[in-house]
Amino acid sequence: MDVKSQRIAYGEALVELGTEHEGIVVLEADLGKSTMSFMFEEKFPCRYFEMGIAEANMISVATGLSLAGKVPFCSTFAVFATGRAYDQIRVGAIAGLNFNICGSSCGLSDFGDGSTHQSVEDIAIMRAIPGMTVLSPADAHQTKKMVRAMADHPGPCYIRVNRSDLPILTESVGEYKIGQIDVLRDGAESHVVIFATGIMVSMALEAAEKLAETGIAATVANVGTIKPLDKAAVLALAAKAELVVTAEEHSIVGGLGSAISETLQGNLTRPIRYVGIDDQFGTSALTYDELLVHYGLTVENIVEAACGRPKTAGGSI
């Protein structure tokens, strides 16, 4: 299976947009070689603004550029975007301004730098802002489509981008629009529906294969848009299954699992199990896989949830 970095796809998408639209501008907070926004700088240096380690100011400048008719994309690590600049993001959202934020190295993917650089609560933070669009691509292919959609979407948008190379899963999916949920494996009258996002989508597909070997039919839905969530699609998929499982590289507090639960509440009664991070911060490790195992974000954990078994303890680091 082909793999590609979401970060590279983000940088490529910015360059493509910049070629097509002179109003596209890019702002960076001293991490351009990591977020890959430097690709835009090389092509359009006069439309690239290096703001230094000043994330709050970066968002303030972006909102001003938006008022001037530009379409700004702001890039930095997810943990810095949602933490250091929250007030400025919120004020820009109150004004309904069109500005875009890339939260790079999301989740645990910055494995070597530990909890201060790992964002496991960014979806929850951004979901809580009225009018904010929250995107979480499954692969590089979907990342490109989402960035293009953000440029034309009114209001503020946030996209979380993984640091690692991830499998390409969505090439066969047609045109993309913000809000859609893509069924990547249809289990028909399924025993379980797995709503997954980000890196967990590929794991959910592998888990579905393992479940099929034991006679358990699983539908896998790629939830690339966390907000606005397609509630009708969620209810329709859940109605065909006996059990709902959510899988995300994020805290189980306020993330995809919470969004799915909120949708089911009062509309449809189904047992639901969550594969996510159990209200903890990240930590440092030698490899990304070590962290995924430690926090219970694996194919086996999804299989266990789908079989109704309790979550097993993670490995030591």
Dist. CA 247–CA 8, nearest whole Å:
24
175 carries an active-site annotation: no
For residue 24, what are the β-bridge partners? 71
Nearest Cα to Cα of residue 235 among 206, 187, 195: 195
Class of residue 149 by CB neighbours under 10 A (exposed 0-12, middle 13-18, buried 19+): buried
Of 28, 41, 55, 121, the catalytic one is 55
Beta strands in the chain, from DSSP E residues, in sequence order: 3-5, 24-28, 48-50, 71-77, 100-104, 133-135, 157-161, 165-167, 181-185, 192-196, 218-223, 225-227, 243-251, 272-277
The angle formed by the CA atoms of residues 143, 75 and 138, to the nearest 5 degrees, is 20
User: Catalytic site residues?
Assistant: 55
